[in-house]
Chain A
Amino acid sequence: MSNFLKNEETEQPQTLPHVQENLKNLGQTNVPNFESNIHCLTIIGQIEGHMILPPQNKTTKYEHIIPQLVAIEENPNIKGVLILLNTVGGDVEAGLAIAEMIASLSKPTVSIVLGGGHSIGVPLAVSANYSYIVPSATMTIHPIRMTGLIVGVPQTFDYFNKMQDRIVEFIVRNSKIKRDTFMKLMLKTGELANDIGTILVGKEAVDYGLIDEIGGIKEALKRLHNMIEEREKKKGEE
């Protein structure tokens, strides 16, 4: 983005002060002395797993997320987790590991797909107890692509099929979509420019049963607070 803004009256370009200058001018802001009982897990860019990706990739690192989830589960002050997703996919194993961790948390979890939740972002989105998607967000469902050194033998195909099966199985187990429907979307032709698969926009993901509901932060937080309340009630009865 350009560093210049047009002054509305004079139409003259103005230089914006640097961020740190701005902060200095604004002075210290007071942090409200209020502890949130909801923590949020922001999953953005590429999911980074076994391999460190080159620096042009914005990544979410698996070794950061997994211990954080453990801490969230263990901390009695944290009552619920909000998962914010805007990811283009990434490492299969890391994605599935994070998704399984979220799915097996005992605390209420709600996810929102913002912008995009593509490829391995799909299991991450459905891993929460309840999932939301904003109307403008998209989810791409496509087969795993083959790259690198590949031996042209039937076993290679079997291997890829197995990897894909792990992902599909997780999605079917954690959402309302049927396996057949999901496979049909994954293998659809004519939808993506140079690939097979489907792009689901907002409501479509809900119609197929992949995501629970359309909604943003307001709906997600309301749902999360309700779930926390219910859980506390149940605990009180025990």
Chain B
Amino acid sequence: MLYTIIPYELIFEKREDIPTNYIELKMGNKQLVVEKLSNGNYIIQRMYSTNPFDYLDAKYSPGSMISIY
């Protein structure tokens, strides 16, 4: 059951314009949302951590490239 100010129609609406190929993963204590690029690298879309200093790490800021292997 949802308790929110956003109408249900907007929450559950089918949208074609939103990319769905993002991958969620965890690196150390950071939660990352990444997008796979055609060259096999991954580009960071979002990073989440409770440690505020993780946000100063340029390696994990949105837009930076990482390789996962």
Contacts and interface: CB of A to CB of B under 8 A. Distances in A.
Interface of A: 18-20, 22-23, 26, 28-29, 31-32, 34-36, 38-42, 46, 53-57, 64, 68, 71-72, 81, 88-93, 95, 118-120, 140, 142, 144-145, 147, 163, 167
Contacts of B22: 55
Given A23-B64, A54-B14, 13 more contacts: A22-B63, A29-B58, A31-B56, A36-B52, A53-B12, A88-B5, A89-B5, A90-B3, A91-B1, A92-B1, A93-B1, A119-B5, A140-B5
Given A18-B63, A147-B8, A54 B15 contact: yes
Contacts of B51: 36, 39
A54 B63 contact: no
B63 A64 contact: no
Interface of B: 1-6, 8, 11-15, 18-20, 22, 31, 43, 48, 50-53, 56-58, 61-65
A60 to B, nearest CB: 9
Given A54-B12, A64-B48, A88 B6 contact: yes
A34 B57 CA distance: 12
Contacts, number: 97
B63 to A, nearest CB: 3
22 contacts: A20-B63, A20-B64, A23-B58, A28-B58, A31-B58, A36-B53, A39-B52, A40-B52, A46-B6, A53-B12, A54-B11, A54-B13, A54-B15, A55-B15, A56-B13, A57-B11, A64-B31, A71-B50, A81-B50, A91-B3, A92-B2, A147-B8
A36 B1 CA distance: 37
Contacts of B64: 20, 23
Contacts of A55: 15, 18-20, 22
A32 B3 contact: no
A18 to B, nearest CB: 7
